[in-house]
Structure 1
Amino acid sequence: MNSVLSQEEINALLNETFAKNPSEKEEDPKQILTPLEVDTLGEISNISMGSAATALSSLLGKRVDITTPNVEVTTLTEVRSKYTKPYVVVDVNYNKGLVGTNTLIIQTYDAGVIVDLMMGGDGSNPSMELNDLHLSAVGEAMNQMMGASSTSLSQVLSMRIDISPPMLDLYELQEYDFHLGDDDKVVKMSFHVVIKDLIDSEMMQLIPISFAKNLVDELMKNNGISETQPTIAPPIVTYQEERTAPRRQDISNEAENRHSFNEGKNQQQVEVTPVEYPKFSQGNAHSIGQTNLDLILDVGLQLSVELGRTNKKIKDILELSNGSIIELDKLAGEPVDILVNGKLLAKGEVVVIDENFGVRVTEIVSPLERVRSLK
């Protein structure tokens, strides 16, 4: 018997050894999230940061464009080695609905432009040294942005989401404590931010892998519910067809009954005419009603969007001047009211379309709520 192993047997033994020890293989960081999960995170961020851009645009009075994010898995070591200068670091903690931390990293120059615009400047001469007052102004802008972002996120995930007030300061990333290990994997989402003639740079979000997977799982859960709806649709169509068929049969039966009834009544001609007239009058009334409805379809209605309301004393009104700020009864990120001829019809969120403001309808108000709004 030959005790020497052939090359094929050696290869088979080596392959078996590697198969029994998969932990020895180095894990590729890019494979922690599947391509579907990466795309899902990109879509979630695109929606939430779109709302944040709208809020910032309203606050600054300038058009703000934020592109679709570039999503990648990396480590804190790689982030710190690539981004070396000081940044404004904003931490947002999600404490209801979702649990996790979202870290927003903004360039110092961009933060200075935002501060200058908020303080009445034109943004062309931003301060490069941010003091406590400047950071407080940036904090207010971030509060508005993240409030709008969490509102849109709650609508996407169909759950209530509460966040803590953003905490921010000026840091070098090498010194900042992310509460994670340097080799821990994080998801980095990079956005291209443009404010015409003022800002054209990158904004970055960092979230832990566990939080990212939680976001994806919640969205997939909602998609799972919606994906079952098409399977329900065919029975509905069938049910409508089944409902339609008996109605046609009833109509034909009714016609036969009328025919037999009229034949019976022909022997008593005095009663024939009174019986037939109501049928003709009902048909005419239906056609006239439909005609009237068609006539009003082209009537113009005034549609307006109400950002909010407030009550002021005459003294306060007389003291208004350029730059005065009026606080409304709406919270940041709260849906605005859509009115038709002054009557509440729906609720929505403000969006920017090209260079104009618009509104995206998020909820049609129920008839009961419309009645309550009239009281």
Structure 2
Amino acid sequence: MSEKDLTQAEIDALLRGEFNSSVLTEMEKDALGEIANITMGTAATTLSSIITKKVEITTPQLSITTQSKLRYDHPLPYVIVNVQYTDGLVGENLLILKIRDASLIVDLMMGGDTSEAPEELNDIHLSAIGEAMNQMMGSGATSMSSVFQKKVTISPPSVRVINLAEENIQPHDNGDLLVKIVFRMAIEGIIDSEIMQLIPIDFAKQTAKYLIGKIGHSDGEQLQKHSTEQMPAMTKAVPEGSAASGIA
């Protein structure tokens, strides 16, 4: 689905950050929010074990965007992590981190205290971020496997730095719709920031469909109940306060 498929009123609503049922239904929105809670809750636990600091990734905030709007909203360089789902689900999503946040995480991974975190990220730093994200999203895929009751796997993520003001994050049409999910990310007195997830609309709908199909109706509380019951123990053990909020 692209901007040319929408009416001008729908495009205006999109640019105001409003959901429209022709893009995502409330049921799909609830399902995606619950899946985001599950995967990023597990990811927070995994990152916490990597850097030995308490990590909170809290309640997701969903909206619809396009690459054109991203350039307007976030005209800065960011670390872009491309995650490809290869089994159970077939598609991709992107994680977007601020350069400074990625730098602090890398320094913690390397045993530093963040006082000498790198100002710029080289290939070694990006490789370290890629490994952290591989473990984080791999554990998230394991949680999704439990919820969907089918194996979900990812390939090792690719990592790069992109200036969103100048480059497209993907070689898609500028009008292609993306689900934008923004989380608050807090790391034990070091980071209080945001991490953003971008999902192509078709893949987002596919993912939501799997969860909705498990319960057969649109009750948001039932979506949460089902996913919670299916979560593995490691997901339920997210550090206190981890649930997830938004990237400037």
Q: Would you say same fold, with TM above 0.5?
A: yes
Corresponding position of 1:258: none
Q: After the TM superposition, which residues 229-308 of structure 1 pair with which residues of structure 2 at under 5 Å, given as runs?
A: none
Task: Give 1:171's match in structure 2, choosing from 157, 162, 165.
Answer: 162
3-state SS of 2:85 partner: strand
Corresponding position of 1:207: 199
Q: CA deviation at 1:177?
A: 4.0
Distance 1:24 1:125, change over 3 A: closer
3-state SS of 2:194 partner: strand
Corresponding position of 2:109: 118
Deviation digits for residues 73-95 of structure 1 (CA, Å, limit 9, x no counterpart): 11111111111111110001111
Q: CA deviation at 1:25?
A: 4.5
Q: After the TM superposition, which residues 86-97 of structure 1 pair with which residues of structure 2 at under 5 Å, given as runs?
A: 86-97=77-88
Q: Percent identity at matched positions?
A: 47
Q: Which has the larger share of helix? A: 1
The letter of the residue matching 1:194 is A
| Contact 2:96 2:196 survives alignment (8 Å) | yes
Corresponding position of 1:144: 135
CA distance in 2 between counterparts of 1:131 and 1:148 reads 26
3-state SS of 1:165 partner: coil
Q: CA deviation at 1:47?
A: 0.7
Distance 1:27 1:353, change over 3 A: same
Deviation digits for residues 156-197 of structure 1 (CA, Å, limit 9, x no counterpart): 111111211000011112313413211111100000000122
| Contact 1:64 1:193 survives alignment (8 Å) | yes
Deviation digits for residues 229-257 of structure 1 (CA, Å, limit 9, x no counterpart): xxxxxxxxxxxxxxxxxxxxxxxxxxxxx
| Contact 2:80 2:96 survives alignment (8 Å) | yes
Aligned-residue CA RMSD (Å): 2.0
3-state SS of 1:46 partner: helix
Q: TM-score normalized by structure 1?
A: 0.54
Provide runs of 4+ in structure 1 moved above 4 Å: none
The letter of the residue matching 2:184 is H
CA distance in 1 between counterparts of 2:7 and 2:132 reads 46
Corresponding position of 2:91: 100
| Contact 2:66 2:177 survives alignment (8 Å) | yes
Corresponding position of 1:352: 238
CA distance in 2 between counterparts of 1:27 and 1:209 reads 19
Q: CA deviation at 1:125?
A: 3.0
Corresponding position of 2:42: 51
Corresponding position of 1:75: 66
| Contact 1:124 1:198 survives alignment (8 Å) | no
| Contact 1:38 1:72 survives alignment (8 Å) | no
Q: After the TM superposition, which residues 303-322 of structure 1 pair with which residues of structure 2 at under 5 Å, given as runs?
A: none
3-state SS of 1:38 partner: helix
CA distance in 2 between counterparts of 1:24 and 1:99 reads 26
Q: Confirm or deny that 1:197 pairs with 2:82.
A: no
CA distance in 2 between counterparts of 1:27 and 1:179 reads 27
3-state SS of 2:96 partner: strand
CA distance in 2 between counterparts of 1:54 and 1:80 reads 31
| Contact 1:93 1:166 survives alignment (8 Å) | yes
Q: CA deviation at 1:26?
A: 3.2
3-state SS of 2:181 partner: strand
| Contact 2:45 2:239 survives alignment (8 Å) | no
| Contact 1:72 1:187 survives alignment (8 Å) | yes
Corresponding position of 2:56: 65
Ranges in structure 1 where 5+ consecutive residues have no aligned partner: 1-22, 228-346, 356-375
The letter of the residue matching 2:61 is N
| Contact 1:53 1:145 survives alignment (8 Å) | yes
| Contact 2:79 2:97 survives alignment (8 Å) | yes
